[in-house]
Every structure is written in C-alpha cells, then in structure tokens.
Structure 1
Amino acid sequence: MIRINNIFELHNLKVDNYLFEVMEDSLKIINRKEKFEINLTYNKENVISTLETIKKLTEIKIVLDNFKDREILSYIESKGFNKLLWNPIGKAMHRFNMIEAGDRVAVGISGGKDSIVLFNALVRIKKIANLDFEIIPIHIHMKEDLSDLSELTAYIKKFGYDLKVIETNLGNLVKEKNPCFLCGRLRRGILYTFMKENGINKLALGHHKDDIIETFLLNIIYQGNRNIMKPAYFSEEHQVTVIRPLAFVEEKNIISYSKKLSLPILETKCPYETSVDSKRLRIKNIIKDISLETPDVRSTILNSINDLF
C-alpha cells in the first residue's frame, strides 16, 4: 500500500512494472514490461475515484493521508455498500432516534474493525444530515499493550478529529473467571467517568447485529435469561445514552468494507477472542454453520427479539 498527501506525489513513481506520470489534470500509467499505457483524467479536488480506478486496473493500493473536506464523504461511502452498510445504519439511527442536534457523542475506538467503521459512519452522518452534533473519538489503552497507535491516530486525524487516548492498568485488573465481561464493564466505566467530566451525553459503541444475537443466545443458554444488547438505551446510573448504530449491520459486511478501505486495524493482543474455550466463539460458529442452510438465520433471530428492544 502506498500513502500520498496529493496525487502529484505519484509523478515518476515506480511500482512493480508500472511508472506513473502525473500532469495537471491527467495521469499516465506505463507498464514497462508489457509495453502498454493507461491514461486517466482526474479532478484535483476529488481524486478518490481515480485511486480506486488505479487499484482496479493495476492492483496497486494507493491511499490519501490528508483529505480535502469534499473528499471525505467520497472515501467513506466507497461503492457497493448502500444496502449492506449505510441503509441498515440509517434504519437503526432513525428508529431509535440515536442522535439529535446539540449531542456530544463519545465514540469508543478500540482499534478493531467495528469501532473504526462506526467512526466512519458517524462522520458520514454528520456530513449528510442536517444535524449539528459533536464527535469525540476515545481509545482506552492498556499500559501493558505495546501496540503502535500512530497509524490509528493518523487515520482519525485526517478526518479532522483528534483521538483521545486514556491510559489504564486495566490488564492487571482483569484476572477473573469471566474476564471479557469485566473488561468491557471496566472500559465503559472509564468512558463514563471521562464523559461526565467533559459534559458528553452520548456514548456510541461498535456492537453489530452478530454481537446482539450472540449475546442473546449466550444469555439464554448459559445464564437462563433474555437480556440483550439494546440498540439504544439511557443509563440511569451514569446519566448517559448508549447507542449502537451498527445494530442492524452483519459482521461479514463490516469485514468486506474494512478490507476494501484497508482500515488501520490494531492487531488484538487479547487471548480470549480466539480461545477454543470462548463461549462466544462457540455460539458464533454454531450460527455460521446454521447459516449455510439458512442464510437469513441472523435476521430471523434478530426479528424474534424485536420486542425486547
């Protein structure tokens, strides 16, 4: 993957068998081995579509490190995701009235695919909706985790936002029988405290359709209750509203979008996410197996708990 600040940085660039020549409003891509040329025109104010065309024709992935304002929406929306991503997000946002004018929305950025797609979705909504609300991206970072946050921070920055990083010794606290539940609870506790101190009234989390139905089945099978992850609810304890804009989006579509945009996903250091002893992973695999003969099983399960929302 090649990173550029503007299209003129491609001039005289040599990649594999290709040589780039950039003119004022056009560019030439010369294949020196097979002796052919590709000629493209471009708009300096919006080169996203040109970069996508280059990838299709040459398989060379080029991304902009700095966006002009008008390029942001073009980049986020990409192509082919209206039905899979933007429509279900819009449906959830509208049904549960997730964001209103004047809201200050904290976005939990774990660095995983779900939270980055959530961030993109909220930036998109702010661009296209007639709503004045604030987006505050926040990352809870364990001091024991040596992951490099520079790429994630730079990604958030090119949309015009600063990633707030809150360091914690959470890793030393999570030594319980059910570490995933406790870890999530402690992370949200840190977020709630920060929100209260900074007058932030809503918290956006990246849980998607698969998370909701997996949690429901986990509670049914292992806890004997019908508790669910609600797409939106008001926490009386913390006096904040929690929203999940990806509630109607299937994980496979988030994965497709993440791969197409080459999102800067942090490599997870958590051993519980892929552990063979993970009950959630077991449920996930069961649903995956059933979906082979019943492709709409996720929607069927979600519809069956619609009354609990």
Structure 2
Amino acid sequence: MRDDLSDLPEPDADEGEIHPLFRGAPGSTEFRKLRKRLVREVRAAIETYHMIRPGDRWLVCLSGGKDSYTLLAVLHELQWRGLLPVDLLACNLDQGQPGFPATVLPQFLTERGVPHRIEYQDTYSVVKAKVPEGRTYCSLCSRLRRGNLYRIAREEGCSAVVLGHHRDDILETFFMNLFHGGRLASMPPKLVNEEGDLMVLRPLAFVAEADCDRFARAMQYPVIPCDLCGSQEGLQRMQVKKLLDEWEARSPGRRQVMFRALTNMRPSHLPDPALFDFAALWPAGDGAPEPIRGDGAGVPLLR
C-alpha cells in the first residue's frame, strides 16, 4: 500500500468538467480536497491490487448507504476522466426489508443517467423464517444477497462484483476474526468467488469511513439507513467498531497505522508454520538435523 499518494498523476480533465453524480457538489476548498483524496485512494487500490482488465464490465453494488454512494461516484468520476476502462452497471438488490424506500434509488440513478438494474428478491422473509428469535440475521442475509448478486452479474455479462467495503470494514473484520475466530484474516481487496467465474473487488480498501460519511453528507445523497431489519444491536462488529473508535479518540491516526500493518506482514515473525518454512531455518552452513521419531530406538514420542 502507498502511504504517499502524491506521485499519482492528477486527472487530465479540466476541474470544471464533472460527472453528473457530482452535480451540486460544494465549491469549497475542503470538499475539493476530499474529492481528490477519494479519487487518489481508489486509484491506488485499483492499481495496487491489479483490479482492471480493459473492456470488463463491473456490477457496482448500491445499497443506498454512504459507502456505496461514494463508491459509485468515484468509479464514475474515474471512468468519466478516462482512467477506468471498464463498463459500470449499478445494481440495487431490494431484499424486502420493511420500510425500504423502493423508489429512492431508481429515481436517483435515472436522474443522473447512471446505467442500473433494480432487483427485488424477498430474502428478508426467508431470513425471518429461518433465524431463531434473538439471533442476528446478518450471516444468512449476506449469503442470500451474495448469491443473488452473483446471479445478476452473470445475467448481465459482468466479470466482477464491486462492493463498498472500506478501510474501516477491513480492520473491523480483522479484529472480529482475531477476537472471536482465532485466526488472522480479513476482507481481501480482490478475490475470485468459489465457482471461479467472478471477481469480487473492494476499490474503497484504502478509504476511511469518515471520508465516505463526509462525502455523502456534502453531496446530500439520499442515504437509506442500514438498520431496517432491526438486527443491529449487540453485533460483534459494533463492539469492535466501538473499541476502534475509542483507540482512535485516544490516539488519532491509530486506524491508519493498524491498516498499514495489515499490508506489512512478516511471515518469519509469526508462529504459523504454513506461512514460513521453519523446518529449513538453520544457521548458515548447518544441515537440518534428522527428525525426532518414536520409532522404538529409545526416543519417545512427544506427548
């Protein structure tokens, strides 16, 4: 990951030219800096993780939250400036959650001339029927959503499903796995699905959640709340998020330092033998000793 993004060239287009998704953007210096930072960081993630194959088609998932609005706007800004040679198709999956404003996103996308597909699949009723009372819906809900998005991507001839997870999501997932899963793992910025036919991309991997929030507020996008299902209280992710917020408040910049650590692994300094060949690690000139075996020669097995 690049800590200094200043070496990335600025877009060639004149500053006065802007994509319709930025229509009504504030003219303040602060907002211009925010927009440029978002563009640079998304470009850096796309470049670092080799996300682009020219001519591909991306299914850009739009939930109506601040993160997905930011993702959609920045990707279209890059495409508008000739820096993202792929086709973009916005997609909202209406999962039948009570109170979901079904007209908001179609109207928003149509008014701005954004190619899109709106899909209705009542996965909410399925989740309600299968998840016991008092348990969170998130795991099953996300699996059903992912399956539908993969299907839509195939139907639309897309090679990639593009998600709005940002730097803070990646950090939170890492700590959830660390505290509750007993493993070092997080959300990769790029992966291939289990079937092997679709890429899953996270171009906001270097972007702070706070910047997504500032951007969506400044643009006055019609943000749809993420708690319509009523299954948010007590989530492990919320607990981890609160912990990270406390660390950040005590030591500003802590999140970025921790994220940098995820991109700066030292396998030889971790106790996982699958990551590093400890068996071959001996002083220079020394050969590897014979392995100790309990083979009846007087050497007992370790218990």
Normalised-by-shorter TM-score class: 0.7 to 0.9
Shift of 1:257: 0.8
Q: Which residue of structure 1 aligns with residue 156 of structure 2? A: 198
Within the candidate set 202, 222, 229, 1:270 is matched to 229
Deviation at 1:147, TM superposition (A): 2.3
In 1, are the aligned partners of 2:22 and 2:219 still within 8 Å (CA)? Answer: no
Q: How does 1:230-245 map to 2 (within 5 A)?
A: 230-245=188-203
Q: Which residue of 1 aligns with 2:20?
A: 72
Q: Specify the alignment match of 2:34 in structure 1.
A: 81
TM-score (norm 2): 0.73
Query: Paired residue for 1:16?
Result: none
User: Are 1:250 and 2:208 matched, yes or no?
Assistant: yes
Cα-Cα RMSD: 2.4
Partner SS for 2:119:
strand
- 2:111 is aligned with 1:154: no
Q: Which runs of 5+ in 2 are unaligned?
A: 1-13, 266-303
Residue aligning to 1:94: 47
Deviations 1:178-207 (A, max 9, x none): 521221121011010111223210111000
What's the CA shift for 1:258?
0.9
Q: Which residue does 1:226 correspond to in 2?
A: 184
Aligned pair partner of 1:188 in 146, 159, 163? 146
Larger radius of gyration: 2
Q: Is the 8 A contact 1:106 1:138 kept in 2?
A: yes
- Percent identity between matched residues is 27
Paired letter, 1:293: R
Amino acid at match of 1:296: G
Residue 151 of structure 1 and its aligned partner are, at CA, apart by 2.9
1:296 corresponding residue in structure 2: 253
Which gives a bigger RCO, structure 1 or 2 (Cα 8 Å, sep 6+)?
2
Across the two proteins, how many residue pairs are aligned to each other?
A: 241
Q: Match for residue 306 of structure 1?
A: 263
Report the Cα offset of residue 131 of structure 1.
4.2
- Residues in 2 aligned to 1:238 and 1:181: alpha-carbon distance in whole angstroms: 22
| Match in the other structure for 2:239 | 282
| Residue 104 (str. 1) matches residue 62 (str. 2) | no
Q: Contact 1:115/1:206 (CA < 8 Å) preserved in 2?
A: yes
Shift of 1:303: 1.7
Alignment TM-score, normalising by the size of structure 1: 0.71
Residues 73, 142 of structure 1: CA spacing in aligned structure 2 closer, same or farther, 3 A cutoff? closer
Give the Cα separation in 1 of the matches to 2:188 and 2:53: 18
Q: Is the 8 A contact 2:19 2:76 kept in 1?
A: no
Runs of 5+ in structure 1 lacking a partner? Answer: 1-45, 50-68
Using a 3 Å threshold, how does the CA distance of structure 1 residues 97 and 136 change in structure 2: closer, same or farther? same
C-alpha separation between the residues in 2 aligned to 1:178 and 1:224? Answer: 21
Is the 1:192–1:238 contact (alpha carbons within 8 Å) kept by the matching residues of 2? Answer: no
Of the structure 1 ranges 209-218 and 73-82, higher mean CA displacement relative to structure 2 is found in 73-82
- 4+ aligned runs moved over 4 Å, structure 1: none
Contact 1:210 1:250 survives alignment (8 Å)? yes
Distance 1:146 1:85 in 2: 31
Using the alignment, how far apart are the partners of 2:70 and 2:186 within structure 1?
A: 22
Query: Larger deviation: 226-235 or 136-145?
Result: 136-145
